[in-house]
Structure 1
């Protein structure tokens, strides 16, 4: 099996790694066996003559011991902290030696016990450092060998002398298989065993034929039935049924291989070769499945924006690449078991590389035209790229990489760098397949959302596509690393580094600490939100607190709950923050100066929530802005103006500046309406009219009564104003408008004039404004007579 399919073993490997880690932590450490393994590793590193497989096995042994040693370091002994606390309780020893004998003996006993408990931890730490160094040395040797293998230059495939032996060597395994079948058929014992098992063999053959040829049609009928019976979730059913179309034919071919193997006609070589056929079919079917899902002819499920013609062409090229990849897998397996000569590998490999390069180049050209403008000669540019979706932009980038590999790969293979060409072309093909798989899984998540919620997923307003895409990308990163030549040991090394955590001063913070912190904090956060919901919905509405007070209690509960959750989570994780005290002290001054405005607003927000000079729903005026308070948060307050605009006011402005609250405690407010009447009007009559209008309005209170104020004698009119208390000051504009209408109507009916300003302008010496008459300009017209 080639390394390109190592990615298929990732899940199994991670599972075995987890089992091995649990087993290692539960098994006592045998330092004698560890010394033997470490000595063998050091000998192999010094000699550098061990094979790569032996080094990998040795590295695995050293890594298992390193994981065990790391577990010993993280576990520690709970008695150690108790003894250290007891020693600290005794205080420092006097410098003059005047300490009582009993206390001195107790101090020595505690120190002896601490040293005794620290000895295993120190030994484990020393052994861990040794194991880590051995693993790094082994990895360096293996990487250098891999580099040498990639840079190795073989005979060029263009040499005609290699073509004859290559073709001859290609038919040797098949001739040997035919000879084995002929010999086994001639053997009477094997023939009799074949006849005895003939019913079972025929049954397996029949089942394989049904699965390969009949099952796809039955799956299509099942899909039609499901689409007819369900109104939603058709995308999920299509994906699942397409997966069945992939698995059932592969299972059918596997049954065929088992039946042929049970016949006893194949020898050792034939048995080795025939079992690679299901894998080849699986590769072809997977590629066909991904091509059908990625470049679907259905516009509703198509992920990459391409024209129908280019989608059809892309499916054809992907299917061709799958056959070439299957052939390369077959030839690589034959070379691995020693059935093909090196000349065959070079010549046939070049042919496969050349065909793959041509197809990759053309497929890259198709992917480069991904997007709304897919016709040749269409105008593109930065605006077009900005309008593309992320899959389309990624498809364009992938297409450019495929074109580059399609040119460079065959050239390297032609000049003899077969291994580099192999390491470029086929990982590129598998990367394209992984990219298609991620797009299909992303669409499956969208279809599942539609299936369970009944509404299509709005990708422009939902975070689900971004979150699912990030998770899928994170999961695909190890697979991508394996595709491009990373070893399983590289992934285990990353996992080991993650398990080891990092040291901060004398404190080692491990992933377990992070998980414990996150788990406890999430639990505390959920309980805080539940308590806030209970207070807001059930408890506080039954009290006499106003809305502002309820909001303050709910907000304060949230802040206090989150703070306590952080403290409890840090304590539960066992994270010692003593080492951070010096850093916090050094940063506090800089943070104090840099974030003083934020801290000021935060403290002001706490004051507003506790003191509650303003509340949600109040009509206030601050910094010349009138509006209704909609939300009071810790840093700022959101005010909705009467223009229906949102004004974000820092809380410090509400605490330090003057704020006018028109509706604090109640909605009563005073309205003053100014009016002027012409000179000569009956002022007593005007006063009576204004009193009557104010007292008859439904929004004006009679206690205190309205008051009409005769202000004085103006330049153009006799000035009055009407002062009245409204039961709802928020209606002040409506009341002012109605009062003005009634005053106008009443004055008109009583013949009282509301004057307006008039001015007479007197000009002194108006003749001086006329000036002298200007002279006539000479004319350029030759026909005009002159005087």
Structure 2
């Protein structure tokens, strides 16, 4: 095998290697969503003659279907560049066009058929129309060319997807068939024999031996440093980690441990890099084997990354909260399987480099063996995730969303662990590789997301000093955005091309139509930013009015609340209008739809609208205000809050009653304290028959006049109401200066009445009843016998 062949095979591993080394995810995203994906901005008209040549060449290549993937990808990139130019050309002279259209509108509407207008106006209208048509021509040509370029790009993408699918469905000699094993073994022997032959040829070169001799000191130092890093690097990191665990702040300690733990990847990778440099300096690897040695850091990185990631996902330290609720022995098993998968993935990389040109039976057999070994570990990891999902909550309804997702991933992993090796065993080697290794790298990505979310939670808890940061909203949102950021990487892992993601981003940037409105990320971001600024300004104005300006006026608390609420609604409305205007959203096309929906919405939301309008009326007219004592619908209490939908009343039992505003408008409402605090109380008093009624009246009048909260104008009165069944009934009727103390005043008066009546010898009666017992031995009524049977009814009763 030549160096060029191995280098080409190594190039095919680029995307998968980048996906495994998740630290390189940001450059991938930058390449996808960066400046290359943006539309080129130019004010020059495209060269349509050159475009015609490029488009014709692309259409001919697609029609022939014989061009390689590399050539097709290059052609696609060229077409995309032209398409971006056409997008920019559509906006050439836009300002000038808008100016001309405004001038045409200023001339007024065109004359109707059969009518004329002044000659100078008609000439001016014709001249402006000709200028508009001339300026529109380049834009129309750019739109047509853009459509053609976009169609070619779509056709290229379809062709590449078809080729990718065909490659996955290509069959190889089945590894499960023993008849294919001799050919596979001979192919492996031949591949390694080629590498040995290349090394023999390299050693036979006097120049190579001279290079080896001259570079021996450098080679020795590099190998020594590599051995030290690989042998002692893990111990150094473990020592630093133990020192960090002495910290008294758990969150800062965990963050420091995560930062230091990256040394478990950095130091070994540096060691392999030194080995690669040392072997390259020998001058013996300028032939086939040199490609694998040059790529040694990338080819061995999966092992170190997996070992590091497994230590965090299935931690051994008891003070680290594991993402999965598993016992210690299962955590240890998880670490072993993760590290084993990293080793197998590294071996898969080596297979693609060293056996890339080997015979098909050889590649199929080696791939199947690696798939089967990886399938065993994947199956066990899937079982561990399912065990965590079952442990999280026994009840499916009570199980958290995260546990459900992990359980689903565990089930899919277990299924793939069986399906992947089976496909590889029957000959669908590429399909088996895609399932097995894409699932492996996807699980690594999942573990990285769990770790990053934990880091985000610790950072939030450290900044806010919140001991319950895990339950806060910000870490949850951080996890959600991390998941969104991981979607492009996940797509790359499962076979998507970077051009596919760039095309998807281009579609998003272009926007989409919704009811005649073009929505794009720029429009949405502009709307969100302007609305957020307007909302913040509204809240600032409300705060200033509530705390600084309104308290210095003579408005009562209810009026202040009404003004602040009105400013809030007005500010939100203006912020929405300004945001729509700044974003350039034209809502005129939705007018018909809005009119049609308004009828249905009116019927469906009539109660809400009714309460909203009632709330506005309450805030404007203010028949009730916060702090008022009201009675409505059998409920009494103090008004605590008035919103646009409902009013909250705190009853005297300290419970909150939510009353719809429509009830406060449509039903009678008693407001005890709205316009004044005065109110009348009635105190009933009963005295025994035979008591001097004038004495009772005089005593009660003295009691009511002496109370400090009783007003003398209007004058309190004592009334002799009538003769009751058990007493002679009187009533004290008095107006208090503060009706809020009505119950207390009644209590005070009752205490005083009891004391004065006892001193005056006035009796307060209690209910009396005469009880009559029937005489069982009376004439005409036989006695009751022992059986309980009685005789004739109607005997007179005896009073007691």
Do they superpose with TM above 0.5?
A: yes
CA separation of 1:266 and 1:307: change in aligned 2, threshold 3 A: same
Q: Are 2:172 and 2:361, in contact at CA under 8 Å, matched by a contact in 1? A: no
Q: Does residue 697 in structure 1 map to residue 700 in structure 2?
A: no
Q: Are 2:211 and 2:281, in contact at CA under 8 Å, matched by a contact in 1? A: no
2:112 to 90, 94, 98: 94
Counterpart in the other structure of 1:528: 538
**1:723 CA displacement:** 2.3
CA distance in structure 2 between the aligned counterparts of 1:341 and 1:576, rounded to whole angstroms:
63
CA separation of 1:37 and 1:26: change in aligned 2, threshold 3 A: same
1:119 to 105, 124, 137: 137
**1:34 CA displacement:** 2.5
**1:19 CA displacement:** 1.7
Q: Are 1:354 and 1:410, in contact at CA under 8 Å, matched by a contact in 2? A: yes
**1:68 CA displacement:** 3.1
Per-residue CA deviation, residues 687-721 of structure 1 (Å, 9 max, x unaligned), is 23323333343444455453323323334322212
**1:269 CA displacement:** 1.8
Counterpart in the other structure of 2:177: 159
Counterpart in the other structure of 2:27: 12
Q: Does residue 452 in structure 1 map to residue 463 in structure 2?
A: yes
Counterpart in the other structure of 1:436: 447
Q: Are 2:677 and 2:740, in contact at CA under 8 Å, matched by a contact in 1? A: yes
Paired residue secondary structure (1:626): strand
CA separation of 1:190 and 1:329: change in aligned 2, threshold 3 A: closer
How many residues in Structure 1 have an aligned counterpart in Structure 2? 767
**1:348 CA displacement:** 0.5
Q: Does residue 624 in structure 1 map to residue 641 in structure 2?
A: no
CA distance in structure 1 between the aligned counterparts of 2:316 and 2:701, rounded to whole angstroms:
82
Per-residue CA deviation, residues 585-644 of structure 1 (Å, 9 max, x unaligned), is 222222222222222221221121122111112111111111221111111111222222
Q: Are 1:671 and 1:723, in contact at CA under 8 Å, matched by a contact in 2? A: yes
CA distance in structure 1 between the aligned counterparts of 2:462 and 2:340, rounded to whole angstroms:
35
Paired residue secondary structure (1:384): coil
1:366 to 384, 393, 410: 384
CA separation of 1:553 and 1:636: change in aligned 2, threshold 3 A: same
CA distance in structure 2 between the aligned counterparts of 1:700 and 1:549, rounded to whole angstroms:
30
Q: Does residue 411 in structure 1 map to residue 430 in structure 2?
A: no
Q: Are 1:304 and 1:391, in contact at CA under 8 Å, matched by a contact in 2? A: no
Q: Does residue 46 in structure 1 map to residue 58 in structure 2?
A: no
Q: Does residue 643 in structure 1 map to residue 659 in structure 2?
A: no
Paired residue secondary structure (1:140): helix
Q: Are 2:457 and 2:470, in contact at CA under 8 Å, matched by a contact in 1? A: no
Per-residue CA deviation, residues 116-139 of structure 1 (Å, 9 max, x unaligned), is 222222112111211221122222
Q: Are 1:21 and 1:64, in contact at CA under 8 Å, matched by a contact in 2? A: no
Moved more, 217-226 or 34-43: 217-226
**1:188 CA displacement:** 4.5
**1:440 CA displacement:** 1.1
Paired residue secondary structure (2:668): coil
**1:401 CA displacement:** 1.4
2:313 to 294, 297, 301: 294
1:213 to 231, 241, 259: 231
CA distance in structure 2 between the aligned counterparts of 1:236 and 1:735, rounded to whole angstroms:
65
Per-residue CA deviation, residues 9-46 of structure 1 (Å, 9 max, x unaligned), is 65334423522245722474333332222212211221
Per-residue CA deviation, residues 476-509 of structure 1 (Å, 9 max, x unaligned), is 2222222222222221221111111123576533
Counterpart in the other structure of 1:85: 102
1:327 to 324, 344, 347: 347
CA distance in structure 2 between the aligned counterparts of 1:171 and 1:770, rounded to whole angstroms:
127
Counterpart in the other structure of 1:352: 370
CA distance in structure 2 between the aligned counterparts of 1:722 and 1:268, rounded to whole angstroms:
117
CA RMSD of aligned residues (A): 2.8
**1:86 CA displacement:** 2.6
CA distance in structure 2 between the aligned counterparts of 1:344 and 1:165, rounded to whole angstroms:
7
Q: Are 2:457 and 2:469, in contact at CA under 8 Å, matched by a contact in 1? A: no
CA distance in structure 1 between the aligned counterparts of 2:558 and 2:787, rounded to whole angstroms:
81
**1:362 CA displacement:** 2.3
Q: Are 2:244 and 2:257, in contact at CA under 8 Å, matched by a contact in 1? A: no
Moved more, 423-432 or 701-710: 701-710
**1:442 CA displacement:** 1.4
2:188 to 148, 166, 170: 170
**1:174 CA displacement:** 4.8
Paired residue secondary structure (1:679): coil
**1:312 CA displacement:** 1.0
**1:773 CA displacement:** 6.0
Moved more, 481-490 or 694-703: 694-703
Q: Are 1:305 and 1:372, in contact at CA under 8 Å, matched by a contact in 2? A: no
Counterpart in the other structure of 1:304: 324
Per-residue CA deviation, residues 280-330 of structure 1 (Å, 9 max, x unaligned), is 321112111221111113454211101111111111111111111111121
Counterpart in the other structure of 2:53: 36
Counterpart in the other structure of 1:400: 411
Counterpart in the other structure of 1:580: 590
**1:373 CA displacement:** 4.4
Moved more, 727-736 or 325-334: 727-736
CA distance in structure 1 between the aligned counterparts of 2:438 and 2:643, rounded to whole angstroms:
53
Per-residue CA deviation, residues 62-103 of structure 1 (Å, 9 max, x unaligned), is 223223323344676022223223323321323213211111
CA distance in structure 2 between the aligned counterparts of 1:551 and 1:288, rounded to whole angstroms:
61
Q: Are 1:368 and 1:396, in contact at CA under 8 Å, matched by a contact in 2? A: yes
Moved more, 276-285 or 169-178: 169-178
After superposition, where does 1:52-91 map in structure 2 within 5 Å? 52-73=69-90, 77-89=94-106, 90-91=108-109
Counterpart in the other structure of 2:146: 128
Paired residue secondary structure (1:211): helix
Counterpart in the other structure of 2:486: 476
CA distance in structure 2 between the aligned counterparts of 1:626 and 1:669, rounded to whole angstroms:
15
Counterpart in the other structure of 2:166: 148
Q: Are 1:514 and 1:573, in contact at CA under 8 Å, matched by a contact in 2? A: yes
CA distance in structure 2 between the aligned counterparts of 1:662 and 1:114, rounded to whole angstroms:
72
2:608 to 598, 604, 620: 598
Counterpart in the other structure of 1:784: none
Counterpart in the other structure of 2:285: 266
CA separation of 1:724 and 1:134: change in aligned 2, threshold 3 A: same
CA separation of 1:770 and 1:307: change in aligned 2, threshold 3 A: farther
CA separation of 1:231 and 1:635: change in aligned 2, threshold 3 A: same
Counterpart in the other structure of 2:551: 541
CA distance in structure 2 between the aligned counterparts of 1:621 and 1:710, rounded to whole angstroms:
30
Moved more, 437-446 or 259-268: 259-268
CA separation of 1:719 and 1:56: change in aligned 2, threshold 3 A: same
CA distance in structure 2 between the aligned counterparts of 1:75 and 1:450, rounded to whole angstroms:
51
Q: Does residue 25 in structure 1 map to residue 45 in structure 2?
A: no
Paired residue secondary structure (1:25): coil
**1:105 CA displacement:** 0.9
CA distance in structure 2 between the aligned counterparts of 1:131 and 1:170, rounded to whole angstroms:
47
Counterpart in the other structure of 2:795: none
**1:206 CA displacement:** 4.0
Gaps of 5+ in 1: 375-381, 778-787
CA separation of 1:742 and 1:776: change in aligned 2, threshold 3 A: closer
Q: Are 2:646 and 2:658, in contact at CA under 8 Å, matched by a contact in 1? A: yes
CA distance in structure 1 between the aligned counterparts of 2:353 and 2:702, rounded to whole angstroms:
108
Per-residue CA deviation, residues 172-209 of structure 1 (Å, 9 max, x unaligned), is 55555555555555544444444444444444334433
Paired residue secondary structure (1:712): strand
CA separation of 1:60 and 1:457: change in aligned 2, threshold 3 A: farther
CA distance in structure 2 between the aligned counterparts of 1:587 and 1:71, rounded to whole angstroms:
38
Paired residue secondary structure (1:228): coil
CA distance in structure 1 between the aligned counterparts of 2:388 and 2:693, rounded to whole angstroms:
85
Counterpart in the other structure of 1:276: 295
